[in-house]
Structure 1
Amino acid sequence: MFAKGQTVIQWMEQLAPKHLAYPDDRDRIGLQLGTLQKEIRTVLVALDVNEEVVDEAVRIGADLIIAHHAIIFRPLKSIQTDSAAGKVYERLIKHDIAVYIAHTNLDNAEWGMNDWMAEALGIRNTVPVEETQREPLYKLAVFVPATHADQVREAVFGAGAGAIGNYSHCSFNVAGTGTFLPQEGTNPFLGSAGKLEQAEEVRIETIVPQSIRSSVIQAMLKAHPYEEVAYDLYPLDLKGKAYGLGRAGKLEKEMTLAAFSQVVKDKLDVPHVRVVGDPDRIVKKAAVIGGSGSRYYQAARFRGADVLVTGDVDYHTAQDALAAGIALIDPGHNAEKIMKAKVADWLKAQAEKHRYDIQAVASAVDTEPFRFM
């Protein structure tokens, strides 16, 4: 059985929720070309979408390309099919291949681009280099007959509610008496129509992150025995999990900058790295930002990092970082290719979980534009 495109993208947005993208119009994410109202048999996961990647997609029979970098970044005034970009658009349309982009939402996601890079480099106990948002939290208060309190609690906890820091299944429970008068045409769990009823109930309060509000409420309603459920959901001033750009943390073991540069080269599978700083310097804490993140060297330094790993470092930023006392390692922008296998594995796991016959393939095309002589 094949899934619709919308279903595949729902899986993708569980991994990289769209609300984690930059909040303005600087980023281009989501469906950029084609339709998701079709069955998907094969997904190709790519870093960039160029002619070679489209050739690969046609060759393997891909219905959908999920890429990190947008194919349409600025508004189009025309599509000329004899131009380089126009040829790509034309071939995609002719072969009915949709293109979906997950960019800064994948960068900022928990267990997304920057977590994958940090893991590969041995950076542990990470925090965002620069926090961009904290997930809003809500308080759920629901009134449940005492006989079903455990059932409802377990349902909302199973849907992800009740987490405070490293503690799960957190709730506060108060016993009391509920009253209700079933009207004509009702089918009450307790009592009978036209008769005022009193019931021993429990008020269950727990914390719900914004991203799972709907699933928690659905789980609560499904587990609740009442025909009409009395509950409140209200926003809190408290903020939840931090999301943001890059990751900073301790290295598994300290080493020289030269040795760590070799780790970066090997683990990110790049032909060379550029290094700013004393090769003999000992590094204990490191930060990583996929793509072009050198302008955040001060934020990385504030997080205690001895070195920042990021791409596209320019001359003057390198000078400024050196003066500020933080080393830089530049593996190039293409180091983000780590996402291809990771996203493909995620999609394959979701397809298997939901029993869909969908292939997810990591692109074998090298889209690195630079050649090193």
Structure 2
Amino acid sequence: MSATVADVLAVLDAAYPPSLAESWDAVGLVCGDRHEVVDKVLVCVDPVRATVDEAVEIGAQLIVAHHPLLLRGVHGVPADSVKGSLVHRMIRGGIALFCAHTNADSADPGVSDALADALGLRVLRPLSPHPDGTTGIGRIGELPEPEPFARFVERVGGALPETRPGVFGAGDPDRPIRTVAVSGGAGDSYLAVATEAGVDAYVTADLRHHPAGEHLERGAEVPALVGLTHWASEWPWCGQAAELIRGAGNVEVHVSTRCTDPWNLRA
């Protein structure tokens, strides 16, 4: 039996409840008809030209993205604007767009669970939990055995898709790493939380110079840092979401491997 857009969205809303989204966020169905039949779905991090192109190429009727397309208030989507052109192209192509953002970040399991799993960590608890103790931003996990920080950075690099900026570490190369905090997406606002948790290392994206530098100046006892690009840190979630969608019925699901980081050159 064919699935509809509504069937797929019901599965995703159950896994990533909209109530978990931050008040400033924009999640859910962006464009498309809930009653349309879906036999192909594309899952990606970013709803941008490259992934909309991919959806058209494979004949997908639905894009499931992590990042919202229209996060800030808009007064129009003219076809000659960047985002408006995507909306028009999707509508003309019969492609619906659904976004699960901070609700997928906080869900159990969610974005950071997928990142932790990719790194071989056993998840213990959220990094910044909600009152229920099971949902929340980030995760704290542990490795099966301690390993030197230099080897752990190599582990991270080998587990995630390659990007131009790559993976970078800040800390004593010989420091034993066992407990690790992870947060998919920009996570330097949780540096103090990771420190309070007493973990050996913290893995996140978009680490800024001053917050990272001030963190490390606190001494050898603070967590070592592993920096990623935003796309790489959240890409493992695509596989998690794809497995959920496959349970919605007779649906073929593709996970986009097109890197949508803005960085494409390195000197």
What is the match of residue 239 of structure 2? 341
2:36 to 22, 35, 38: 38
Find the aligned partners of 1:358 and 1:59 in 2 and give their Cα distance.
17
Q: Is contact 1:270-1:331 (8 Å) kept?
A: no
What is the match of residue 252 of structure 2? 359
Find the aligned partners of 1:342 and 1:133 in 2 and give their Cα distance.
24
What is the CA-CA distance between 1:78 and the residue it aligns to? 2.4
What is the match of residue 178 of structure 1? none
Q: Is contact 1:321-1:328 (8 Å) kept?
A: no
Structure with bigger strand share is 1
Give me the TM-score of the superposition, normalised by structure 2.
0.92
What is the match of residue 189 of structure 2? 295
Find the aligned partners of 1:123 and 1:301 in 2 and give their Cα distance.
18
What is the CA-CA distance between 1:125 and the residue it aligns to? 4.2
Q: Is contact 2:113-2:123 (8 Å) kept?
A: no
Question: Which residue type is aligned with residue 52 of structure 1?
Answer: A
Q: How does 1:45-84 map to 2 (within 5 A)?
A: 45-84=43-82
Find the aligned partners of 2:189 and 2:265 in 1 and give their Cα distance.
25
SS in 2 for 1:133: coil
From the CA coordinates, give the structure whose radius of gyration is larger: 1
Q: How does 1:4-153 map to 2 (within 5 A)?
A: 4-22=4-22, 24=23, 26-134=24-132
What is the CA-CA distance between 1:47 and the residue it aligns to? 0.7
Find the aligned partners of 1:61 and 1:273 in 2 and give their Cα distance.
34
User: Alpha carbons of 1:366 and 1:323: their partners in 2 closer, same or farther (altered >3 Å)?
Assistant: same
Find the aligned partners of 1:11 and 1:246 in 2 and give their Cα distance.
22
What is the match of residue 185 of structure 1? none
Find the aligned partners of 2:126 and 2:52 in 1 and give their Cα distance.
34
Q: Among the aligned pairs, what percent are the same residue?
A: 34
Q: How does 1:271-286 map to 2 (within 5 A)?
A: 271=163, 272-286=166-180
Deviation >6 Å, runs of 4+: none
What is the CA-CA distance between 1:372 and the residue it aligns to? 4.3
Find the aligned partners of 1:108 and 1:309 in 2 and give their Cα distance.
17
Question: Which residue type is aligned with residue 250 of structure 1?
Answer: E
1:327 to 213, 219, 224: 224
Q: Is contact 2:108-2:134 (8 Å) kept?
A: no
RMSD: 1.5
What is the CA-CA distance between 1:255 and the residue it aligns to? 1.2
Question: Which residue type is aligned with residue 258 of structure 1?
Answer: A
The number of equivalent residue pairs is: 260
Question: Which residue type is aligned with residue 15 of structure 1?
Answer: A
Find the aligned partners of 1:51 and 1:249 in 2 and give their Cα distance.
35
Find the aligned partners of 1:302 and 1:49 in 2 and give their Cα distance.
35
Q: Is contact 2:116-2:123 (8 Å) kept?
A: no
What is the match of residue 198 of structure 2? 304
